[in-house]
Structure 1
Amino acid sequence: MAFEGLSERLQATMQKIRGKGKVSEQDVKDMMREVRLALLEADVNFKVVKSFVKTVSERAIGQDVMKSLTPGQQVIKVVKEELTTLMGGEQSKINLSAKPPTVIMMVGLQGAGKTTTTGKLANVLRKKYNKNPLLVAGDIYRPAAIKQLETLGKQLSFPVFSMGDKESPVTIAKEAIAKAKEEHHDVVLLDTAGRLHVDEDLMNELKQMKEIAQPDEILLVVDAMTGQDAVNVAKSFDDLLGLTGVVLTKLDGDTRGGAALSIRSVTEKPIKFVGMGEKMDALESFHPERMAQRILGMGDVMSLIEKAQDNVDQDRAKELEQKMRTMSFTFDDFLEQMGQVRNMGPLDELLKMIPGANKMKGLDNMQIDEKQLNHVEAIIKSMTNAEKENPEIMNASRRKRIAAGSGTSIQQVNRLIKQFDEMKKMMKQMTNMQGKKGKKRGGMNFPFMQ
């Protein structure tokens, strides 16, 4: 997962200094030596590392920190603030033209995920900005690139403008913008051609497209897993085109995160979006402060809330709460709720957004087994409607049938039924507390939490 290696090293380093009532210059030097190694191992640009370490060291041994009541906490605060600054400081939002259509050029090398990201960005613009995008198939060189964009357009219900692979991309861009104005599309997303490396022909063509399209945004799509190469590619494109922002793809698969920490500092261009999965809704706005908090194990409550708002039906959530209060919560309700949570993303990633979850006993090394989640789903779907409504009618023969129908064991079925009953009792107790402190109960241990 993103920043996993860096996060573990930095959190271990911060832990050594966190509770210290007194911090010496030597303590800071020792800590910064560890930080330097952690950043270099994460493939962060060495010049960026040098500058970061120098800035943090100077601030950490300053009077405000050394003479504070909690110097250890102050040093960590400095590290978080400088990490945030390193990644851009504040969120950089997408530029939307006051006079539609907004034209966005998607550029980058082959294999970075440019075409897929074009579809994902269109999805974000519709959901969060209430826009009506037109996708434009401007990559006439890569085999099946036009077909890929058309397939994405059909999947997401977006129109795709194409003139085949015989017309030049410059002509396609010009005609597409005219078509967008005619059909009242307020955003034009130009999917452009890539190459295996930066070359003169590619750049000349993109320059011509830029002159014709006059884009409001030129977003470079780069693969985060390429590390320092991503930074070099960004610099080359920016020198020749003048980028307005960067989209990092496959950040969820890069355990190092060096590109995300280097690219802003080296190019001075903001990271606007990050790809955090293969699903078409797995494109997130990039928030430097939230990412810094995640790296340091401080959680990311705001992103968690936004994910919940985007994926959970609020009216249905109120209904489920009422069912929990009255003990009428069924296996069907549980299955629905589990589906909504799974739509928010990988569960282990969601747990990391909860402040302090990495220090909670049992959660620090907990692995979420997606196969076990599938088993839970299969068990519930193998029940009859009557069994889902009234689990108490499930006798031995019924449980044997459910196990056979779901491809699981009787023990797994028994465990799920028992835990579901415990969960209902616990949720009723929690919802009836009305803010009062109740007796401490043992935590739930679902079969998909190993």
Structure 2
Amino acid sequence: MFENLSERLSQSLKSITGRGRLTEDNIKDTLREVRMALLEADVALPVVREFVSRVKEQALGEEVNKSLTPGQVFLKIVQKELEHAMGEGNVPLNLAAQPPAVILMAGLQGAGKTTSVGKLARYLREKQKKKVLVVSADVYRPAAIKQLETLANEVEVEFFPSNTDQKPVAIAQAAIAHARKKFLDVVLVDTAGRTAIDEAMMAEIQALHEAINPVETLFVVDAMTGQDAANTAKAFSEALPLTGVILTKTDGDARGGAALSIRHITGQPIKFLGIGEKNTALEPFHPDRVASRILGMGDVMSLIDELESKVDKAKAEKVAKKVMKDGKFSLEDFRDQLAQMRDMGGMMGLMDKLPGMGQMSAQMKGQLDDKLTVRMEAIINSMTRKEREHPDLIKGSRKRRIAAGSGTQVQDVNKMLKQFMQMQKMMKKMKGGGMAKMMRGLGGMGGKMPPGMFPKR
């Protein structure tokens, strides 16, 4: 997310951050470029106007002129104003209510509402240790009810059955009564997707809201619809007392305009970002971290959170001990590393959170294609246990068998083995006190990847 905006803003700000002195003219030129970058990212015009006006007002202030590094101060102002546009901080769900706390999910058709119910149910169960019940009040689409039941099983929460002959209000009320009886903490109510202009459907959800009086009314919106996302959010906020927004499909949105516009237009905070298709791909929205990512400074805090929650610590420790003791690193270990990386959003998902990676060349990004890691996993999976432990056994006929079993070519098997050998060499250097030596070696390469790590396809 934000690739286009990040690239344009970085270019616009590069010329001014190195300056020893800021003048009204060079601030004006930079802000013109910033304005264009925001408009191209599909940020709503009123948001752009306010943003540029606030940055200009502060940049021309005494504080910047007196600073020894006015260019850096200007960058700080831009970062602060990006945070201001998206909300001052993370706004958690308000579940302080007599159990069960009811959360109503509203949104357009195809915005990813039902999927978000599943993701949020998992998040509440795992992160907040809540007992969750999910229910579908979408009586127009039998497939939606079945989909939610499947998701509930996957994320291990309770599902309350419903059918298309029932009324949405009756379904929700029965689910809440059931949750009360079972002493459950949270009820998530999925609703039918509707268009903002469908008055009958909007009246139906208003009646549902009035009947169940939820503690949270979350608007689920597709980030890829850009400025339209902000406009539909406005229509929903006029019909319902929204308390927050879940922005979905952010992994497919390179512009990022919706994230910058929604808070301003609805007055409600973005509470979560949907960052992929998996039911784990939901993260709390932190404006400061997102602003940092937009400006190419990375998002190390979110990366640490992901490592904390998604890395199998016992397995990682076992591999680390084995490597530190005798420098052994097998193809089995390599496959586990690839799988864990994929669980954390893939190579590009991780790289996006590291400082400076926004400026990475397109060629380098191509070499970090996540399809490559999936292919490598398939190749390793097609090997026997003995081959994974002793890759030197893999010669001509074995390579042909592995390629056929993984649906790849022999040259793909060769490339994967070459990359593994490079990784193995690095791991051997970590034996004993070799880690510091290896890092010094990498430093001497100017931060480049070791040769052969990402060969051209």
Please give the range of the TM-score, normalised by the shorter of the 2 chains. over 0.9
Structure 1 vs Structure 2 CA RMSD: 2.2
Matched letter for residue 343 of structure 2: N
Partner of 1:446: 453
Cα distance between partner residues in 1 of 2:192 and 2:399: 57
Ranges in structure 1 where 5+ consecutive residues have no aligned partner: none
CA deviation profile, 1:102-155 (whole Å, cap 9, x unmatched) = 110011222222112111111111111111111111111235222222222233
Matched letter for residue 35 of structure 1: V
Partner of 1:385: 385
Partner of 2:156: 157
Partner of 2:287: 288
Q: CA deviation at 1:393?
A: 3.3
Partner of 1:230: 229
Cα distance between partner residues in 1 of 2:195 and 2:134: 23
Cα distance between partner residues in 2 of 1:71 and 1:82: 16
Matched letter for residue 45 of structure 1: A
Matched letter for residue 122 of structure 1: A
Cα distance between partner residues in 2 of 1:425 and 1:297: 31
Partner of 2:193: 194
Partner of 2:329: 329
Q: CA deviation at 1:222?
A: 1.4
Cα distance between partner residues in 1 of 2:394 and 2:239: 69
Give runs of aligned pairs for residues 18-57 of structure 1, distance below 5 A: 18-57=17-56
Are the aligned partners of 1:105 and 1:189 in contact in 2 as well (CA < 8 Å)? yes
DSSP 3-state at the match of 2:130? coil
Cα distance between partner residues in 2 of 1:128 and 1:147: 26
Are the aligned partners of 1:102 and 1:215 in contact in 2 as well (CA < 8 Å)? yes
Partner of 1:340: 340
Cα distance between partner residues in 2 of 1:405 and 1:210: 54
Cα distance between partner residues in 1 of 2:367 and 2:246: 29
Cα distance between partner residues in 1 of 2:152 and 2:341: 26
Partner of 1:428: 428
Aligned identity (percent) is 51
Q: CA deviation at 1:211?
A: 2.5
Cα distance between partner residues in 1 of 2:394 and 2:346: 32
Ranges in structure 2 where 5+ consecutive residues have no aligned partner: none
Q: CA deviation at 1:7?
A: 1.3
Cα distance between partner residues in 1 of 2:239 and 2:176: 23
**More deviation in 305-314 or 411-420?**
411-420
DSSP 3-state at the match of 1:221? strand
Task: Say whether residues 1:83 and 2:82 are aligned partners.
Answer: yes
Matched letter for residue 337 of structure 2: Q
Give runs of aligned pairs for residues 94-243 of structure 1, distance below 5 A: 94-243=93-242
Cα distance between partner residues in 1 of 2:239 and 2:31: 37
Matched letter for residue 44 of structure 1: V
**More deviation in 2-11 or 440-449?**
440-449
Aligned length: 449
CA deviation profile, 1:12-68 (whole Å, cap 9, x unmatched) = 111111222222221110000001111111111111111110100111121111221
Are the aligned partners of 1:248 and 1:271 in contact in 2 as well (CA < 8 Å)? yes
Are the aligned partners of 1:369 and 1:448 in contact in 2 as well (CA < 8 Å)? no
Cα distance between partner residues in 1 of 2:456 and 2:222: 31
DSSP 3-state at the match of 2:283? strand
Are the aligned partners of 1:138 and 1:162 in contact in 2 as well (CA < 8 Å)? no
Distance 1:401 1:71, change over 3 A: same
Partner of 1:17: 16
DSSP 3-state at the match of 1:144? helix
Matched letter for residue 350 of structure 2: L
DSSP 3-state at the match of 2:134? strand
Matched letter for residue 282 of structure 1: A
Matched letter for residue 113 of structure 1: G
